[in-house]
Amino acid sequence: MPELPEVHTTVEGLKKVIIGKTIENVWSDFYIGAKHNDRQNIKNKKYFEKFKKIVTGTNIKDIERRGKNILINLNNDYTIVVHMKMTGNLMYGLYPENKFIHLKFNLSDKKDLVLADMRKFASVDIFKTEELKQHKRIGTLGSEPLDPKFTAKKFFKIFHTKKYPIKSALMEQNLLSGIGNIYSDEILWEVSIHPLSRTDKIPEKQFTEIFKTMQKILKFSIKEGGDSKSDYRNAFGEKGNFQNFHNVYSRKGDKCPKSKCRGIIERMVIKGRSAHFCPNHQLIYK
Query: Catalytic residue among 66, 68, 104, 251, which?
Result: 68
Q: Tell me how far CA of residue 220 lies from CA of 43, 101, 240, in angstroms.
A: 35, 30, 12
User: Is there a catalytic annotation at residue 137?
Assistant: no
182 Cβ contact partners less than 8 Å away, ≥ 6 residues apart: 3, 227, 229, 242, 246, 249
Residue type, 238: E
End-to-end Cα distance, the chain = 29
User: Is there a catalytic annotation at residue 68?
Assistant: yes
User: Is there a catalytic annotation at residue 153?
Assistant: no
DSSP 129: G
CA pair distance 191, 266, nearest whole angstrom: 17
Taking the mean position of all CA atoms in its chain, how far away is CA 230? 13
User: Is there a catalytic annotation at residue 186?
Assistant: no
Active site residues: 2-3, 68, 273
